[in-house]
Amino acid sequence: MAVLSREYGYVMLTGAASFVLVTHLAVKVGRARKKYNVEYPTMYSTDPEHGQIFNCIQRAHQNTLEAYPAFLFFLATSGLYHPRVATGLGITWILGRILYAYGYYTGDPKNRRRGAMGSFALIGLVGTGVYSACQHLGWNCQN
């Protein structure tokens, strides 16, 4: 039976905070659907006047959802052996996704680059998760 460190609670809270983020982005899309009259199940607007802004709002949410399973997996696995590192990287990913979304909400897709730190945080989680797997297998990862 595996025993989690007490600090793993921070990892769990980070996962919960990420759910708040995803929910916030979903609400923004729902409001944009009403504001720009984009009915379900239409994913993208073709409206020449407001389509670009709606599509940017929708893509910010969709892109976050595309990365979300990997984020949760590597947050959880990284946190097994490195809960503080995983928590720091997880919070950085969340903040990066907020900057990404609000940059995208301007209607200029180039502004989403403001959230690039989130991508670096996810790469850090992948590396920490792999390192944790090596530790769990008893492989000597240090020289």
- CA-nearest of 111, 110, 73 to 93 is 73
Most distant CA pair in the chain: distance in Å?
Answer: 60
Q: Which residue has the tokens 């670096």?
A: 120
> What is the rounded end-to-end Cα distance, in angstroms, of the chain?
29
Tell me what pLDDT residue 43 has.
93
Cα 69 to Cα 41, 48, 54, 56: the distances in Å are 23, 34, 24, 21
Strand, helix or coil for residue 54: helix
Measured between alpha carbons, how far is 129 from 105 in angstroms, rounded to an integer? 32
Mean pLDDT (10-residue bins), the chain, 143 residues: 87 98 98 95 92 95 98 97 97 98 94 95 98 90 63
Question: What pLDDT was estimated at residue 140?
Answer: 76
Q: Which of 19, 54, 14, 49 is nearest to 34 (CA)?
A: 54
pLDDT for 20: 98
